[in-house]
Amino acid sequence: MLKNYIKIAWRNFTQNKSYTAINILGLAVAMACCILISLYAKEELSFDDFHENADRIVSVGLESGFFGRVLSTPHPLADAMVEEMPAVEQAIRTTGTGPFKLSKEGRNFTEI
């Protein structure tokens, strides 16, 4: 029975070559999009997983049309968030687009 179904499908594929090509191309594009979206979601959800309270960490950054997303926050923002938002316990400032320069309580760190 299965052999018969395969034979009929093969005949339809060979008789309608353009329709078959469109269907296979559409399936390939859909599968590629699905894989890319799942890889992107996995990457976005993988940050800061090694921390003890990873679900409480939030990253605030800038988004511009030319550079895309950049992890860079204005310097007064960290202090203002700690003072004005009771939910924020601690905050750090990040600057730069290359190696990130972090500063907290007057100490500076460089993350490569």
- Domain ranges in the chain are 2-45, 54-111
pLDDT range class, residue 3, cuts 50, 70, 90: very high
pLDDT in tens, 33-49: 999 999 999 887 877 77
pTM of the complete model: 0.48
Rounded CA-CA distance 40/21 in Å is 28
Among candidate residues 33, 94, 29, the one with its CA nearest the CA of residue 60? 94
Question: Hey, what are 37's tokens?
Answer: 């979206």
Contact 109, 103 (CB under 8 A): yes
pLDDT tier at 68, thresholds 50, 70, 90: low
Angle of helix 17-45 versus helix 2-15 axis, rounded to 10: 110
CB atoms within 10 A of CB 94: 20
